[in-house]
């Protein structure tokens, strides 16, 4: 591994988390894949400074089958443990993540590029979902029903599905895995995690942390599994009948392929796909709150959150005021090394993302949009080897083709609207994605209209809170091209289980439902 440009601090982080120069293609807990001449490798470079962090082996089809077999064996043991005991294992995982929070947060930042505070926040999300899952392990409730037949009892209960496939994206390299894996685990399932090939090292670190806990509790390998591979491995998982549920996070294009493959075999898919999120600022908004939420939503994670704010719908009476405030703030945003806590904006993930950023801005202007500020690719001192850009503000119209698309970059489209809140909502909903949404207003009628049946069509709708930064207690997900999945809190645990209705006859008769007579 090249270490010439790594700081001593970062090298210590890698050592602490057990990241070596060459990392295995898969891990089933205590056992990891060894070097194999048939495997290809991939170099992992940091978007912060372009440094080579490590090299990973890419899994083969044979590796995949080996992981599946190990997971199937582990499921037979894990599903028989009482749910509260499974919760105890997850509790220990949460505590171990607390111990590693700082180095793991730094690795998230260095490998993915989000600022250090966001890196720490992502690890905290894993800790929080562990705590949530521990409580959930004692609340896997079913319902009881009154039977129409005498001396009969009816109830429903939930059983684990088996192997849960988890395909995660680079922008949240560990948190979304934890949302799925910890809830699936307390429900009695085993997991196979395919992380983004752009950010596999944070996944390896998490797998090592979990493996410590499993080993200390004398549990079999195969409960939590990791496989590092390209789209071929993801496709194989989607087509595999041995994986009853595939949870996939990523682009709408990717999600459609996964959903089609899983649906063709009548499996289940949990899809968390693209967002084209908007904030509505009405004439009754508190401008200070609206501006703060807008800036964080638009430039946080360098615009690479699925909940990033991409459209700002501003009432005509407030448009000039809001625009001028943003034009003053954007040039002051500190951009640079995300491990330096004075910086608020880190790099894009790679050069392809930079190209998408430039192409989107060019297309917006070709369609009639006006670039107000930003849009530059940064180079020179302080930016060497990194993928740094200046967040952009663009005056646009909602119907522009590029505005209708999700660009994973810090571009905020300013769109003026006339009329009342219903006009704003109609514009807001006129995109194919439906993940997160927000309105800023001090008028309760506008707020309730936004949350009503004729209001936001998104899975998340906020009042006086931005589009980005969801808590784990609520179900996370969206509608339309966002896929319809729900993860994390509320009753999202049910997606990882199969529902069974049970009827018990404790009489000596055999009455039929609906009063049917069938005497023989």
As annotated, the active-site residues are: 272, 306
First-to-last C-alpha distance (Å) of the chain = 79
Q: Which residue has the tokens 């496939």?
A: 165
Given a contact cutoff of 8 angstroms between Cβ atoms, the answer to whether 318 and 290 are in contact is no
Tokens of 508: 């000596």
Determine how many CB atoms are found less than 10 A away from the CB of residue 138. 12
Tokens of 370: 């006006």
Tokens of 484: 């319809």
Chain-centroid distance of CA 292 in Å reads: 23
CA atoms within 13 A on the CB side of 294: 31
Tokens of 120: 């720490």
Q: What is the arrangement of strands in the sheet containing 52-57, beginning at the earlier edge strand? A: 22-23, 52-57, 41-45
CA dihedral 58, 64, 67, 73 (to 10 degrees): 180
CA atoms within 13 A on the CB side of 369: 28
- As a whole number of angstroms, the distance between CA 491 and CA 473 comes to 10
- As a whole number of angstroms, the distance between CA 505 and CA 118 comes to 56
Q: What is the chain's alpha carbon radius of gyration, rounded to the nearest angstrom?
A: 25
Given a contact cutoff of 8 angstroms between Cβ atoms, the answer to whether 275 and 245 are in contact is no
Given a contact cutoff of 8 angstroms between Cβ atoms, the answer to whether 247 and 209 are in contact is no
Tokens of 184: 């699936």
Beta strands 475-476 and 487-488 are antiparallel
- As a whole number of angstroms, the distance between CA 205 and CA 148 comes to 55
> DSSP assignment, residue 23?
E
Q: Would you say how long the chain is, in residues?
A: 520
């Amino acid at each position: 591994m090249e270490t010439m440009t790594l700081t001593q601090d970062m090298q210590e982080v890698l050592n602490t988390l057990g990241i070596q120069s060459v990392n295995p293609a898969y891990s089933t807990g205590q056992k990891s894949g060894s070097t194999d001449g048939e495997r290809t490798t991939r170099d992992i470079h940091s978007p912060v400074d372009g440094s080579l962090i490590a090299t990973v082996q890419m899994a083969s089809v044979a590796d995949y089958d080996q992981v599946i077999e190990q997971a199937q064996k582990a499921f037979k043991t894990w599903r028989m443990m009482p749910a509260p005991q499974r919760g105890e294992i997850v509790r220990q995982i949460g505590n171990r993540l607390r111990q590693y929070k700082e180095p793991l947060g730094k690795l998230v930042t260095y490998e993915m590029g989000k600022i250090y505070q966001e890196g720490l926040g992502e690890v905290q999300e894993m800790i929080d979902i562990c705590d949530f899952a521990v409580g959930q392990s004692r609340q896997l409730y079913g319902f009881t029903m009154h039977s129409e037949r005498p001396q009969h009892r009816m109830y429903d209960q939930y059983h684990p599905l088996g192997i849960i496939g988890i395909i995660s994206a680079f922008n949240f390299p560990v948190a979304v895995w934890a949302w799925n894996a910890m809830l699936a685990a307390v429900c009695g399932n085993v997991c196979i995690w395919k992380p983004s090939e752009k950010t596999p090292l944070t996944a390896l670190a998490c797998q090592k942390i979990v493996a410590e806990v499993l080993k200390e509790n004398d549990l079999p390998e195969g409960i939590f599994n990791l496989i590092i591979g390209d789209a071929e491995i993801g496709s194989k998982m989607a087509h595999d009948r041995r994986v009853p549920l595939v949870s996939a996070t990523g682009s709408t294009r990717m999600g459609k392929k996964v959903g089609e493959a899983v649906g063709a075999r009548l499996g289940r898919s949990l899809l968390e796909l693209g967002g084209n999120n908007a904030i509505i600022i009405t004439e009754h908004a508190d401008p200070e709150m609206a501006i703060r939420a807008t800036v964080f939503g638009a430039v946080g994670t360098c615009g690479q959150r699925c909940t990033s704010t991409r459209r700002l719908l501003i009432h005509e009476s407030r448009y000039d005021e809001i625009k001028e405030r943003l034009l003053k703030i954007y040039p002051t945003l500190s951009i640079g090394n995300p491990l330096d806590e004075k910086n608020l904006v880190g790099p894009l993930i790679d050069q392809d993302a930079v190209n998408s950023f430039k192409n989107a801005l060019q297309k917006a202007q070709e369609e009639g949009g006006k670039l107000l500020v930003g849009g530059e690719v940064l180079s020179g001192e302080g930016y060497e080897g990194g993928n740094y850009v200046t967040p952009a503000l663009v005056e646009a119209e909602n119907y522009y083709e590029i505005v209708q698309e999700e660009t994973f970059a810090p571009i905020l489209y300013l769109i003026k609207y006339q009329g009342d809140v219903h006009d704003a909502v109609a514009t807001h909903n006129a995109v194919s994605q439906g993940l997160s949404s927000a309105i800023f207003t001090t008028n309760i009628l506008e707020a309730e209209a936004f949350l009503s049946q004729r209001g936001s069509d998104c899975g998340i709708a906020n009042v006086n809170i931005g589009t980005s930064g969801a808590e784990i207690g609520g179900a996370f997900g969206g509608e339309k091209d966002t896929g319809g999945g729900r993860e994390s809190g509320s009753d999202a645990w049910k997606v990882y289980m199969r529902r069974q209705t049970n009827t018990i006859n404790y009489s000596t008769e055999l009455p039929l439902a609906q009063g049917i007579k069938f005497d023989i």
